[in-house]
Structure formats: C-alpha cells, structure tokens
C-alpha cells in the first residue's frame, strides 16, 4: 500500500483488538450532548477517519481545556502534525503565565496520541523547550509540539474509547460511595516513565480531603475577588449555547450545594505536580497525565472535576509579588516542597450525567 493511501485509510475500524481484549465504543447518550452544530464534533468524531490525519485532530479537539477556550491550532501534512498554542485565546490575569493554556495543549496532545495508536500509527513527539511567560501585546500562535507519524500497529485502549464520553461533571457526587481500591491502583499508573518531571499525589482520607477543600475554597474566593481576574474570564462566560461562539464556559442553573460541599462529595482528590511549574514541556506533560486520568475515570463510570483555585492563586501571588502562602500550604499536603502543584481535581460517583461543552470544528482550528 502506498504511504499516502495508508494515511487516507487509517481510523476506519471501530472495533479494535489489543492484547487479546476487544474494546467496543459504547453508544453516545443523548443526555451527554446538546443539539445543533456546536455539539456536532462530539457526535462525528469518528467520521473524520476518512480524512487521514484529521481523525487525530478531531480527537484532540475533544480534550479537556481551561474555561473551554480551546486554545489550540494545528497544521497537518501527509505525515506530521504541529500543535500551536493560540495565545490570543488567553484568560488574561486568570492565567497570567499561560500555564493553564499549555496544560490544555497537553490534554489535546494526549487525545491525539491515543487516536494515533488506535489508528495504527507510531508517533515521535518533540516538545519545544521554554519557560511559560505572559502573552505578548500582540498575541500570535506559538508552536508547542511537533508529532511525526509513521505506520505501526493498532493499539486499542479504554482511554481511546472514552474520548467522546469524557465531560466535566459539575454536579454534586454521591458521597456515600467510596472509590474502589482497584481504580485508585489503576490511576496511579497514568504517570508513565516518559512523563519526566511529573508526579501524581492522591488523597482519600476525610481529613486530607477537608483540608484540601478548605485550601481550594479560600484560594478561589480570594483569587476571583481580584477585578483583573474577572476581566480575564468575562469574555469566556456564556449564558446560553449558541452556534456562533462554540466555546467558553456555559453558565447553567447553579447547583444548590456549596462549593465546599461539592468538593467533599468527591471521595478521591488528586494533585498533579511538576519539578518546575513554569517549564513549558513539564506543563504539557502534566496536561497529558490529567487527560489520561479523566479518560480512565470516564471509562470506569467515575465523574471528575478540576478544582484548581489553589494553583491559580499561586500564579496570582507570583504576578503581584505577594508572599507565597499557598505554596507552603500545599507543600504540607505533599510533604515534599521540591514538587510544585500545577493541577488539582476531585472524583466521585455521579448523581447526574455530565453535559458536553460546545466545540469548534476541525476546520476551525487548522492553519
């Protein structure tokens, strides 16, 4: 088979075999996705398999990302994909060093690589070195990752099959149900040998979870009280889903539970840490770890929600040259100051389905 013809035909198999196991995509629930073009990428994510490497981009755009800014752009050739950070889609002082933006790039990269393996492609990834920094006055796309692709073996996984079902669940969880030990053991393996400079900390005891929830709540309250932070997020709030924006955070009916109660309904807290919070490749690798963790939870019918206010206020303290109080409080949890938190989350069993977010289409993110 010619190389070009091979790349055209990848991704046409919907039932894949790996290691003697057969993974089947479960049917999409109507409760997950809304109507209209804004949600079409969730429905048609396998349809682009007829368009060669665009199948990989389609998987990438369904990844987790900060405030649903979808801060990515892609170039696609016959055997390579480049991912750019679209720095014009920044969150202002909410994300002053673009840490959450490049973390989101890592999430997209993980989905893309899962799709590559499932479609019989080997990938060689190159992350551009550098430090995180505020966006320029005239933001422009910044190359973050290069992926070179070649033919290989098809490798299926439950993570790949979970891609169209992974949504952030902002409801209160079932606090009466413990997270199984088997899942906790499995999630420890989402950090792999090539995730250099990344570590995952997990917390299940009520005392630890209460301490973490208090730190997050206090940090989030103080952080969001800054008018500059509010100005950064305001353009991304959506009071309704429309087919014009296809991005941003939808403001639905508020949950009657308080934020602390919502967090405490989760029976597992996680903290992803890096050696250098402002190293760009480490931030991207941390995003890959979160994407794996969220996909694994989805595959096991466990809900997940980011709760990153305590890390966001660390950026805030750095920007304003304030005393680094929050870093010290989080170091008490990890008992190792050499690991710097970059992302926090909690998980539990859902009491209601998670809803999909609006998404731009593949051709909206190509350059």
pLDDT reported for residue 29:
54
pLDDT reported for residue 4:
41
Kindly state whether residues 196 and 342 are assigned to the same domain: yes
Whether residue 13 is predicted with pLDDT greater than 70 in this model: the reply is no
Whether residue 128 is predicted with pLDDT greater than 60 in this model: the reply is yes
Whether residue 141 is predicted with pLDDT greater than 80 in this model: the reply is yes
> How far does the chain reach from its first CA to its final CA, in angstroms?
29
Please give the residue that has the higher pLDDT: either 32 or 315: 315
pLDDT reported for residue 277:
97
Lowest mean pLDDT segment, chosen from 26-30, 36-40, 291-295: 26-30
Kindly state whether residues 260 and 289 are assigned to the same domain: yes
| Neighbour count for residue 120 (Cβ, 10 Å) | 17
Evaluate the CA torsion angle 204, 305, 339, 182 in order and state its sign: positive
pLDDT > 70 fraction of the chain, expressed in percent and rounded: 89
Residue ranges making up the domain that contains 314: 181-348
Kindly state whether residues 20 and 107 are assigned to the same domain: yes
Whether residue 178 is predicted with pLDDT greater than 80 in this model: the reply is yes
Whether residue 86 is predicted with pLDDT greater than 50 in this model: the reply is yes
Residue 331, domain member (yes or no): yes
Kindly state whether residues 155 and 212 are assigned to the same domain: no
Q: Cα-flanking dihedrals φ and ψ of residue 138, to 5°? A: -120, 80
Residue 174, domain member (yes or no): no
Kindly state whether residues 67 and 31 are assigned to the same domain: yes
Please give the residue that has the higher pLDDT: either 47 or 84: 84
Please give the angle made by the CA atoms of 53, 59 and 63, to the nearest 5 degrees: 145
Q: How far apart are CA 99 and CA 91, in angstroms?
A: 10
Whether residue 19 is predicted with pLDDT greater than 90 in this model: the reply is no
Whether residue 50 is predicted with pLDDT greater than 90 in this model: the reply is no
| E-assigned strand segments in the chain | 15-18, 21-24, 72-76, 80-86, 121-127, 141-151, 198-203, 237-238, 249-250, 268-274, 303-306, 340-348
Q: How far apart are CA 5 and CA 102, in angstroms?
A: 33
Per-residue pLDDT reduced to its tens digit, 239-262:
887 777 899 998 766 666 799 999
Tell me how many domains the chain contains. 2
Residue 125, domain member (yes or no): yes
Whether residue 150 is predicted with pLDDT greater than 60 in this model: the reply is yes
Residue 17, domain member (yes or no): yes
Q: What is the CATH number of the domain that holds 285?
A: 3.40.109.10
Q: What is the CATH number of the domain that holds 41?
A: 3.40.109
Kindly state whether residues 343 and 243 are assigned to the same domain: yes
Whether residue 25 is predicted with pLDDT greater than 90 in this model: the reply is no
Residue 173, domain member (yes or no): no
Confidence of residue 265 (pLDDT cuts 50, 70, 90): very high
164 and 45 in contact (C-beta within 8 Å)?
yes
pLDDT reported for residue 240:
80
Kindly state whether residues 134 and 256 are assigned to the same domain: no
Kindly state whether residues 36 and 150 are assigned to the same domain: yes
What mean pLDDT is predicted for residues 79-89? 98
Kindly state whether residues 272 and 135 are assigned to the same domain: no
Residue 172, domain member (yes or no): no
Confidence of residue 46 (pLDDT cuts 50, 70, 90): confident
Whether residue 62 is predicted with pLDDT greater than 60 in this model: the reply is yes
pLDDT reported for residue 243:
72
Whether residue 8 is predicted with pLDDT greater than 60 in this model: the reply is no
DSSP secondary structure string for all residues of 296-342: HHHHTT-EEEE--HHHHHHHHHHHTT---HHHHHHHHHHS-TTSEEE
Kindly state whether residues 259 and 243 are assigned to the same domain: yes
93 exposed, middle or buried (CB, 10 Å; 0-12, 13-18, 19+)?
buried
- The closest of 356, 271, 347 to 309, measured between CA atoms, is 271
Q: How far apart are CA 199 and CA 278, in angstroms?
A: 15
| Neighbour count for residue 258 (Cβ, 10 Å) | 11
Mean pLDDT of the chain: 89
Confidence of residue 14 (pLDDT cuts 50, 70, 90): very low
What mean pLDDT is predicted for residues 153-172? 95
Kindly state whether residues 42 and 147 are assigned to the same domain: yes
Q: How far apart are CA 132 and CA 101, in angstroms?
A: 10
Kindly state whether residues 321 and 288 are assigned to the same domain: yes
Greatest mean pLDDT among 8-12, 49-53, 154-158: 154-158
Residue 170, domain member (yes or no): no
Residue 304, domain member (yes or no): yes
Per-residue pLDDT reduced to its tens digit, 299-337:
999 999 999 999 999 999 999 999 888 999 999 999 999
Whether residue 52 is predicted with pLDDT greater than 90 in this model: the reply is no
């Amino acid at each position: 088979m010619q190389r070009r013809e091979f790349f055209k035909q990848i991704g046409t198999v919907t039932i894949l075999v790996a290691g003697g196991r057969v993974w089947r995509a479960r049917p999409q629930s109507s409760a997950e996705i809304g109507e209209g073009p804004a949600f079409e990428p969730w429905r048609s994510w396998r349809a682009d398999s007829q368009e060669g490497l665009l199948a990989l981009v389609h998987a990438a755009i369904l990844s987790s990302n900060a405030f649903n800014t979808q801060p990515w752009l892609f170039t696609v050739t016959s055997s390579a994909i480049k991912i750019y950070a679209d720095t014009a889609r920044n969150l202002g002082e909410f994300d002053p060093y673009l840490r959450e933006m490049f973390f989101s790039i890592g999430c997209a990269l993980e989905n893309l690589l899962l799709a590559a393996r499932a479609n019989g492609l080997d990938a060689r990834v190159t992350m551009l070195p550098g430090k995180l920094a505020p966006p320029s006055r005239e933001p422009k796309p910044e190359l973050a990752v290069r992926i070179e692709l070649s033919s290989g073996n098809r490798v299926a996984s439950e993570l790949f099959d979970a891609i169209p079902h992974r949504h952030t669940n902002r409801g209160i969880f079932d606090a009466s149900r413990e997270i199984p030990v088997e899942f906790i053991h499995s999630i420890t393996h989402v950090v792999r040998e090539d995730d250099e400079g990344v570590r995952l900390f997990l917390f299940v005891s009520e005392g630890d979870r209460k301490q973490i929830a208090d730190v997050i709540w206090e940090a989030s309250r103080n952080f969001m009280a800054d008018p500059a932070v509010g100005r950064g997020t305001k353009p991304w709030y959506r009071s309704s889903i429309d087919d014009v924006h296809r991005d941003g955070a939808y403001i639905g009916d508020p949950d009657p539970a308080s934020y602390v109660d919502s967090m405490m309904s989760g029976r597992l807290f996680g903290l992803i840490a890096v050696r250098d919070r402002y190293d760009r490749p480490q931030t991207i690798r941390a995003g890959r770890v979160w994407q794996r963790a969220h996909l694994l939870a989805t595959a096991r019918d466990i809900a997940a929600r980011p709760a990153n206010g305590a890390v966001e206020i660390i950026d805030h303290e750095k920007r304003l040259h304030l005393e680094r109080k929050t870093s010290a409080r989080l170091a008490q949890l990890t008992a190792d100051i050499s690991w710097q938190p970059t992302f926090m989350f909690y998980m539990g069993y859902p009491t209601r389905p998670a809803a999909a977010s609006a998404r731009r289409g593949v051709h909206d993110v190509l350059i």
